[in-house]
Structure 1
Amino acid sequence: MRINRERLWTRLQSLGGVGSDPQGGVSRFAWTPEYREACRILMGWMEEAGLTVRMDGVGNILGRMEGKHDLPAILTGSHFDTVPNGGRFDGMAGVMAALELLTTLHESGYIPERPIEMVAFVNEEASQFLGGTFGSKAMCGVLPSDYTRTCLHRYTGQPLREAMLEFDMNLDPDHIEKSRINPCDYLAFLELHIEQGKYLLNQDLPLAVITSVAGIRQFYITLKGVSAHAGGMAMEDRHDTLMAAAAIACEVERLALCSGSNTRGTVGYIQSHPAEHNIIADESVIPVDYREDDDAIWADYYDKLIHFVEEECAKRGLEYTIRTTIDLRPAHCHPQLIKIMEEEAASLEIPHTQMVSYPCHDSVNFERIMPMGMIFLRSSNGGLSHCPQEYTTPEDMEAGTNLLLNTILKLSKTENLD
């Protein structure tokens, strides 16, 4: 059984363009009018595919195809929102692949052994309401009950609760716990996603079977010192936060390069006050992002960096605080799912490899509660993503969706995963 490449591509381009912005990209943020328009189109197509369709209380869209037997279902999908001025493939590729394989099964009259569900997660990118992977967190039950009241729009300060009510699709922001699923109702979760890098492009391969998703920590280190005159204050008498921030930023890179792994460590900017040419900075903020798939290295990186921060502050007479926004340990794909995907890729004669995902995905949350697997598709335009130039070819979309379909068909006949 094979999917319809033309239909998949046409729908992906059409729906992926909802929220197009003047800069040439797509800005489709969760709980906005553009997002609502896209939801209604998707839900209509899901109904045409014979699915039982619903939107949960936070905005995740789910569609279910019943199987021959009342067994735990297979869940597949990805996120439906974009970054500012993003592309048409990030997240959307996995949603549309899930819809296409279910549409193919519906058209053929095929009834799987067990139920199959697709999901379009809300607010994975968290472009306006920060935190990341919101929809899958809600489904996995890891959000605090007051989250919609305490999470604020990054620019306007609007509480998330208000945005969800204004979305006008019968959401229930006061009871996000109702979105939590029972892991016993599912056999596994599978996510197809674009790579967002150049590894597959450099290897000249259309796709990869993922082995792990790197853990990610994002946090802000705020240093407090004393402002003083750049000429008047002697070097030994200064409490200069910017110099400490610069040293910490260099240490973020050094720790990544010396970890013995492929750790990513990033400082995107340093924000200092008062930001004047001739005044010593009395406050500096360093945003740190690091990613690693080895559990021990991931934990050790943080400990080593904070030890360095403490030493810098002691040396310069500074105080520091840390505010963490993302703290997700590494997630490891289920060995049996990796094996099945490898076998099905070989049977379909699709050249492929294995790799680690360093970008974070909704799959990370599902790994905590059920077996999880991932497929990456080649990012063809120089590995670019999170920009209008993001691109994956129709041929690679077809190959990945056929692999997802065959993997799910094989899984539907599998009694359980060890």
Structure 2
Amino acid sequence: MSSADFLTDFHHVATIGATPRQGVDRQAATAEDAQSRAWFSKWITDAGYTLHVDGIGNMFGLIEWTPGAPYVLVGSHLDSQPLGGRFDGAYGVLAARNVDELMRASGTAPSFNLAVVNWFNEEGGRFAPSVMGSSVFAGLFDQEKMLDVTDLAGVTARAALAEIGYLGTDPRPVTVSYAEIHIEQGRILEREEIAIGVVDRSWYTQKLDIEVLGEQSHTGATAMADRHDALVAAAKIILMVREVTTDFADEAIVSSVGQLTLEPNSPIVVARRVRLVADLRSGDPQIVQTARATLLEKIAALAVEHDIQITVTDFDVRPIRYFPENGLQLAEAAAVRAGLSTRRIQTMAGHDSVAMNTIVPSIMLFIPSVDGVSHCEREFTTDTDMVAGLALLTEVTTDLVNGALVDSATAPALASTVRA
């Protein structure tokens, strides 16, 4: 597949679930996600590969050169955030297929086969937690529990996948390594004018599920002194979550409240219940723990002040994951051959590669994001940067299938630890 073919495919996929401002809205297991999955399925089968769909909706395009050999996985995800960007995830899926043409042209069978993967529900916008499909694959999440997760409308992931026809039963490929390329979603590479970020570690992540329980009452008839307004207290918590970052050095921690639900959500009723999710992330776990402790103390005082009940529950805690040094060096050497500048970089966002790195040696690559903007329609990366990343991923994946990171002697023992 030439770079022109890649760009044609990429810009076509961006029309699936397209929004008026050049973004996409393809939330997991929606009709729009089903359309992108149908495109992926046709793309795989037209190329003569074998398509497998597993029990959590992950899709694998299996390219077998060496019968019986395990697989190198390469890919990302096609689902998006609501009103998300067209580059996040989709770029990494479409960039994964060049290696087959190189192998066929060489006339020699590599040590390992290749599987191009589209992971289910990486974004977590509809079903929480995020990075769901790859985490089930890696054994970090229980498949049945994840299938029972509901969206805000009460629809389970199981029912949603069945509705679009992608609740599969196929076996998972036995895997020896993983590679993924992605937009940075930050501005470090753009600011430093560097072509490629080689990810050496992930950030520590801590989410807090916060429930605020007040008392429902009339917005017009209830005296202000008699109100127990859950939304007012929740608004103060939202500001606390933001302000706690000022206790630390600039860029040492990021925080947000990205989801809020309100009951009864009537224009003439004081809110009785608010549920919100706070997200704390840092490269230093102690900073997150200190911020968490500060928030818990302030939230407890807030509950007393407003005479309401507030419950805070930890969930989706993700430790720092370090990518293997030999994988970093492999990627850097490939970049030298491709004439691309690199720097090592940390990922503040979660990615499928972070989950996969817990079971097999994994490589994560970034290309620049214009203005560092992501998870919105304005997200943008140039064709030039995408093509440069495509060339590097091709180099890296060619090395991987030829046993540069995991040799044939090591592969059987490694593969036996991976859930097939």
Aligned counterparts, 1:195-234, within 5 A: 195-225=184-214, 232=225
Shift of 1:288: 0.9
Asked if the contact 1:4–1:104 (Cα under 8 Å) also holds between the matched residues in 2, the reply is no
Amino acid paired to 1:379: S
Shift in alpha-carbon separation, 1:186–1:344, aligned structure 2, 3 A: same
Shift in alpha-carbon separation, 1:255–1:231, aligned structure 2, 3 A: closer
Match for residue 379 of structure 1? 369
What SS does the corresponding residue of 2:155 show, helix, strand or coil? coil
Distance in 1 (alpha carbons) for counterparts of 2:100 and 2:315: 36
Shift in alpha-carbon separation, 1:197–1:110, aligned structure 2, 3 A: farther
Distance in 1 (alpha carbons) for counterparts of 2:47 and 2:313: 45
More off after superposition, 248-257 vs 400-409: 248-257
- The reply to whether residue 257 of structure 1 matches residue 246 of structure 2 is yes
More off after superposition, 216-225 vs 276-285: 276-285
Deviations 1:107-136 (A, max 9, x none): 554532222222111221233333222211
Asked if the contact 2:17–2:24 (Cα under 8 Å) also holds between the matched residues in 1, the reply is yes
TM-score by length of 2: 0.82
Shift in alpha-carbon separation, 1:288–1:333, aligned structure 2, 3 A: same
Given candidates 312, 327, 332, the residue that maps to 1:322 is 312
Given candidates 158, 161, 164, the residue that maps to 1:164 is 161
Asked if the contact 2:56–2:143 (Cα under 8 Å) also holds between the matched residues in 1, the reply is no
Aligned counterparts, 1:1-400, within 5 A: 4-22=2-20, 24-68=22-66, 72-106=70-104, 109=107, 111-147=109-145, 150-155=148-153, 157-169=154-166, 171-172=168-169, 185-225=174-214, 232=225, 245=234, 248-260=237-249, 262-268=252-258, 284-314=274-304, 317-323=307-313, 326-380=316-370, 382-400=371-389
Shift in alpha-carbon separation, 1:212–1:160, aligned structure 2, 3 A: same
Shift of 1:404: 1.5
Amino acid paired to 2:75: G
Shift in alpha-carbon separation, 1:110–1:325, aligned structure 2, 3 A: farther
Distance in 2 (alpha carbons) for counterparts of 1:67 and 1:276: 60
More off after superposition, 280-289 vs 326-335: 280-289
More off after superposition, 261-270 vs 71-80: 261-270
Distance in 1 (alpha carbons) for counterparts of 2:65 and 2:268: 71
Distance in 2 (alpha carbons) for counterparts of 1:226 and 1:272: 13
Asked if the contact 2:23–2:379 (Cα under 8 Å) also holds between the matched residues in 1, the reply is no
More off after superposition, 49-58 vs 390-399: 49-58
Shift of 1:137: 2.2
Q: Which runs of 5+ in 2 are unaligned?
A: 415-420
- Identity of aligned pairs, percent? 27
What SS does the corresponding residue of 1:210 show, helix, strand or coil? strand
Aligned residues: 402
More off after superposition, 254-263 vs 128-137: 254-263
More off after superposition, 359-368 vs 318-327: 318-327
Shift of 1:87: 2.8
Shift of 1:197: 2.3
Amino acid paired to 1:158: V
Distance in 2 (alpha carbons) for counterparts of 1:166 and 1:99: 29
Shift of 1:141: 2.6
Distance in 1 (alpha carbons) for counterparts of 2:68 and 2:171: 21
Distance in 2 (alpha carbons) for counterparts of 1:329 and 1:170: 30
Shift in alpha-carbon separation, 1:387–1:106, aligned structure 2, 3 A: farther
Amino acid paired to 2:292: Y
Distance in 1 (alpha carbons) for counterparts of 2:7 and 2:326: 30
Asked if the contact 1:215–1:328 (Cα under 8 Å) also holds between the matched residues in 2, the reply is yes
Distance in 2 (alpha carbons) for counterparts of 1:17 and 1:188: 32
Amino acid paired to 1:188: S
Shift of 1:205: 2.1
Distance in 1 (alpha carbons) for counterparts of 2:262 and 2:54: 42
TM-score by length of 1: 0.82
Amino acid paired to 2:332: E
Distance in 2 (alpha carbons) for counterparts of 1:338 and 1:149: 34
Match for residue 175 of structure 1? none
Shift of 1:98: 0.7
Shift in alpha-carbon separation, 1:104–1:295, aligned structure 2, 3 A: farther
Shift of 1:241: 5.6
